[in-house]
Amino acid sequence: FHLHFNPVRKTLSLYQDKHNNDKAKEATYNKRTSDDW
């Protein structure tokens, strides 16, 4: 049972979630601006 891996894993998943959210926001922003054109 690798308890000491959990914090790293959680941090990685949080970082990935943030990264994915930023990418999604960027995508929606790009789509909105292209729709305006």
| Mean model confidence pLDDT for the chain | 75
Distance, in Å, from the CA atom of 15 to the CA atom of 21, rounded to the nearest integer, reads 10
User: Is pLDDT of 17 > 60?
Assistant: yes
The pLDDT assigned to 2 comes to: 55
Residue at token pair 């995508």: 27
Distance, in Å, from the CA atom of 37 to the CA atom of 24, rounded to the nearest integer, reads 20
The pLDDT assigned to 16 comes to: 82
pTM of whole model > 0.85?
Answer: no
C-alpha dihedral (19, 24, 30, 33), degrees to nearest 10 = -130
